[in-house]
Amino acid sequence: MISVIISGHGDFPIALKESSNMIFGEEDHLTAVPFLKGEGIQTLQKKYQQTLKRIPKEHEVLFLVDIFGGTPYNAAAPYIVKDQRMDMAAGVNLPILLEVLSLRGHIPLKELLNRLKTMSQESFQVCSEHLENAKRIEREDEL
């Protein structure tokens, strides 16, 4: 099993967790750790440390953070360097979180991360491209 820690600036991680709860229901081993205005990296690392204490030792751990190189990312990096059962992905959004929650009990962490890289590219969609494609198909059907 993979335990998930969502972190980011402000209430973003809390809102992301609440949104996933609307779709999947309450999930075990999913924690939102916000980085709030006025806090420093040490405060965030203490929050991470408290969260990690509650995670079963046999679980792998995935940090999902908002921004690559931001404080939530930098605060988690030392834990990942020290423990091979942990890793981190930046750029978290709701489709990514839902994918993690649906797969985390079925595949190992490294395989999950590889799938997320592909899934992230697939979940980013541009409306005008879809409209153009639909128009092209419509024109082809008329011929």
The token duo for 25 is: 């229901």
Q: How far apart are CA 78 and CA 80, in angstroms?
A: 5
Tell me the β-bridge partners of 4: 30, 62
Q: Which CATH class is domain 2-142?
A: alpha beta
Concerning whether 59 is annotated as a catalytic residue, the answer is no
The per-residue pLDDT string of the chain (143 residues; one tens digit each, 9 = 90 and over) reads 999 999 999 999 999 999 999 999 999 999 999 999 999 999 999 999 999 999 999 999 999 999 999 999 999 999 999 999 999 999 999 999 999 999 999 999 999 999 998 887 777 778 888 888 888 888 787 77
Among 9, 29, 106, 130, which one carries the catalytic annotation? Answer: 9
